[in-house]
Amino acid sequence: MLDHIDYSIVSALQDDGRISNVQLAERIGLSPSACLRRVQILEDRGIITGYAAMIDAAALGRSTHIIVAITLERQSEDYLSQFEQAVADCPDVMECYLMAGDADYVLRLQARDAADYERIHKEHLSRLPGVARIQSSFALRQVVRRNGIQLDAH
Protein backbone atom coordinates (compact mmCIF):
# COMPACT_ATOMS: atom_id res chain seq x y z
CA MET A 1 0.00 0.00 0.00
CA LEU A 2 1.25 3.47 -0.85
CA ASP A 3 1.14 6.35 1.58
CA HIS A 4 0.84 10.04 0.71
CA ILE A 5 4.63 10.43 0.47
CA ASP A 6 4.87 7.56 -2.03
CA TYR A 7 2.08 9.13 -4.09
CA SER A 8 3.91 12.46 -4.02
CA ILE A 9 7.13 10.82 -5.19
CA VAL A 10 5.43 8.94 -8.02
CA SER A 11 3.53 12.04 -9.09
CA ALA A 12 6.68 14.17 -9.14
CA LEU A 13 8.61 11.54 -11.12
CA GLN A 14 5.78 11.26 -13.65
CA ASP A 15 6.00 15.03 -14.16
CA ASP A 16 9.80 15.02 -14.44
CA GLY A 17 11.67 11.73 -14.55
CA ARG A 18 14.99 13.59 -14.71
CA ILE A 19 14.54 15.47 -11.45
CA SER A 20 17.54 15.07 -9.17
CA ASN A 21 17.13 13.23 -5.90
CA VAL A 22 17.98 16.43 -4.00
CA GLN A 23 15.27 18.39 -5.86
CA LEU A 24 12.79 15.55 -5.39
CA ALA A 25 13.55 15.39 -1.67
CA GLU A 26 13.03 19.14 -1.34
CA ARG A 27 9.73 18.98 -3.22
CA ILE A 28 8.45 16.06 -1.10
CA GLY A 29 9.82 17.34 2.20
CA LEU A 30 12.23 14.49 2.97
CA SER A 31 15.96 14.25 3.45
CA PRO A 32 17.80 13.17 0.28
CA SER A 33 18.75 9.81 1.82
CA ALA A 34 15.17 9.06 2.94
CA CYS A 35 13.86 10.10 -0.47
CA LEU A 36 16.34 7.87 -2.28
CA ARG A 37 15.36 4.90 -0.07
CA ARG A 38 11.69 5.51 -0.88
CA VAL A 39 12.36 5.67 -4.61
CA GLN A 40 14.42 2.46 -4.45
CA ILE A 41 11.62 0.69 -2.57
CA LEU A 42 9.10 1.85 -5.20
CA GLU A 43 11.42 0.49 -7.91
CA ASP A 44 11.97 -2.81 -6.04
CA ARG A 45 8.21 -3.24 -5.62
CA GLY A 46 7.68 -2.74 -9.36
CA ILE A 47 5.63 0.42 -8.94
CA ILE A 48 8.27 2.46 -10.76
CA THR A 49 9.24 0.27 -13.71
CA GLY A 50 11.62 2.59 -15.55
CA TYR A 51 12.37 6.05 -16.85
CA ALA A 52 12.00 7.24 -20.42
CA ALA A 53 12.17 10.35 -22.57
CA MET A 54 8.99 11.50 -24.30
CA ILE A 55 9.72 11.75 -28.01
CA ASP A 56 7.91 13.82 -30.63
CA ALA A 57 7.28 11.13 -33.24
CA ALA A 58 6.50 13.72 -35.94
CA ALA A 59 9.91 15.34 -35.42
CA LEU A 60 11.43 11.97 -36.31
CA GLY A 61 9.25 11.54 -39.38
CA ARG A 62 6.70 9.21 -37.76
CA SER A 63 3.63 11.46 -37.88
CA THR A 64 1.03 8.84 -38.87
CA HIS A 65 -0.68 7.05 -35.99
CA ILE A 66 -2.63 3.91 -36.79
CA ILE A 67 -4.92 1.87 -34.56
CA VAL A 68 -5.25 -1.71 -35.77
CA ALA A 69 -7.93 -4.13 -34.57
CA ILE A 70 -7.04 -7.77 -35.16
CA THR A 71 -9.36 -10.75 -34.96
CA LEU A 72 -7.85 -14.22 -34.79
CA GLU A 73 -9.20 -17.38 -36.45
CA ARG A 74 -9.45 -18.99 -32.99
CA GLN A 75 -9.00 -17.82 -29.42
CA SER A 76 -7.21 -20.92 -28.17
CA GLU A 77 -4.21 -20.52 -25.89
CA ASP A 78 -1.94 -21.75 -28.68
CA TYR A 79 -3.22 -19.15 -31.16
CA LEU A 80 -2.99 -16.35 -28.62
CA SER A 81 0.53 -17.32 -27.61
CA GLN A 82 1.81 -17.60 -31.18
CA PHE A 83 0.28 -14.25 -32.11
CA GLU A 84 1.70 -12.49 -29.03
CA GLN A 85 5.19 -13.83 -29.65
CA ALA A 86 5.11 -12.73 -33.29
CA VAL A 87 3.66 -9.26 -32.64
CA ALA A 88 6.34 -8.62 -29.99
CA ASP A 89 8.93 -8.99 -32.77
CA CYS A 90 7.30 -6.29 -34.94
CA PRO A 91 9.34 -3.10 -34.35
CA ASP A 92 6.59 -0.78 -35.64
CA VAL A 93 4.08 -1.90 -33.00
CA MET A 94 4.20 0.60 -30.15
CA GLU A 95 1.54 -1.08 -28.01
CA CYS A 96 -0.56 -4.24 -28.17
CA TYR A 97 -3.56 -5.07 -26.01
CA LEU A 98 -5.50 -8.32 -25.62
CA MET A 99 -9.13 -7.23 -25.76
CA ALA A 100 -12.60 -8.26 -24.69
CA GLY A 101 -15.19 -7.40 -27.34
CA ASP A 102 -15.21 -7.56 -31.14
CA ALA A 103 -11.44 -7.58 -31.75
CA ASP A 104 -9.04 -9.97 -30.06
CA TYR A 105 -6.16 -7.47 -30.10
CA VAL A 106 -5.73 -3.75 -30.62
CA LEU A 107 -2.35 -2.42 -31.75
CA ARG A 108 -1.02 1.12 -31.88
CA LEU A 109 1.49 1.80 -34.63
CA GLN A 110 3.43 4.83 -35.80
CA ALA A 111 4.44 5.17 -39.45
CA ARG A 112 5.89 7.82 -41.73
CA ASP A 113 2.84 7.90 -44.00
CA ALA A 114 0.29 5.65 -45.72
CA ALA A 115 2.97 4.06 -47.91
CA ASP A 116 5.02 3.20 -44.83
CA TYR A 117 1.93 1.64 -43.25
CA GLU A 118 1.47 -0.41 -46.41
CA ARG A 119 5.02 -1.73 -45.89
CA ILE A 120 4.26 -2.56 -42.26
CA HIS A 121 1.06 -4.31 -43.32
CA LYS A 122 2.80 -6.39 -46.01
CA GLU A 123 5.96 -7.22 -44.04
CA HIS A 124 4.50 -7.74 -40.59
CA LEU A 125 0.75 -7.57 -39.96
CA SER A 126 -0.36 -9.82 -42.82
CA ARG A 127 2.21 -12.42 -41.72
CA LEU A 128 1.12 -12.63 -38.09
CA PRO A 129 -0.04 -16.16 -37.24
CA GLY A 130 -3.71 -16.98 -36.88
CA VAL A 131 -5.06 -13.65 -38.14
CA ALA A 132 -8.56 -13.78 -39.62
CA ARG A 133 -9.18 -10.03 -39.98
CA ILE A 134 -7.23 -6.77 -39.79
CA GLN A 135 -9.08 -3.47 -39.48
CA SER A 136 -6.98 -0.30 -39.56
CA SER A 137 -7.94 3.24 -38.57
CA PHE A 138 -5.76 6.28 -39.17
CA ALA A 139 -5.72 9.00 -36.52
CA LEU A 140 -6.27 12.51 -37.87
CA ARG A 141 -4.59 14.20 -34.90
CA GLN A 142 -3.73 13.52 -31.30
CA VAL A 143 -6.10 15.18 -28.86
CA VAL A 144 -4.73 14.04 -25.48
CA ARG A 145 -1.41 12.52 -24.46
CA ARG A 146 -0.62 11.78 -20.86
CA ASN A 147 2.72 10.70 -19.55
CA GLY A 148 1.56 8.98 -16.39
CA ILE A 149 -1.48 7.61 -14.69
CA GLN A 150 -3.98 9.49 -12.55
CA LEU A 151 -3.00 8.89 -8.95
CA ASP A 152 -5.68 8.56 -6.30
CA ALA A 153 -3.80 9.37 -3.09
CA HIS A 154 -5.60 8.14 -0.02
Identify whether residues 106 and 77 lie together within a single domain.
yes
* pLDDT of 135 over the 60 cut: yes
Query: How many domains, in total, are found in the chain?
Result: 2
3-state DSSP assignment of residue 138: strand
Instruction: Answer yes or no: do 87 and 131 share one domain.
Output: yes
Whether pLDDT at 105 is above 70: yes
3-state helix, strand, coil in the chain (%, to 5): 40, 20, 40
The pLDDT tens digits for 52-99 are 888 888 899 999 999 999 999 999 999 999 999 999 999 999 999 999
Query: 152 lies in a domain?
Result: no
Q: Do 67 and 18 reside in the same domain of the chain?
A: no
Q: Are 132 and 91 found together in one domain?
A: yes
- In a domain, residue 151? The reply is no
Helix (H, G, I), strand (E, B) or coil at 120: helix
Q: What is the pLDDT of residue 109?
A: 97
Check pLDDT > 90 for residue 1.
no
Kindly state whether residue 148 falls inside one of the protein's structural domains.
no
Torsion sign (Cα): 28, 30, 36, 40: negative
What is the domain-level CATH number for residue 79? Answer: 3.30.70.920
- What CATH number should be reported for the domain holding residue 12? 1.10.10.10
CA 65-79-105 angle, to 5 degrees, is: 25
The rounded distance, in Å, linking the Cα atoms of 6 and 28 is 9
User: Which residue range forms the structural domain that includes residue 18?
Assistant: 4-44
pLDDT, tens only, 8-46: 999 999 999 999 999 999 999 999 999 999 999 999 999
Residues 23 and 84 in one domain: no
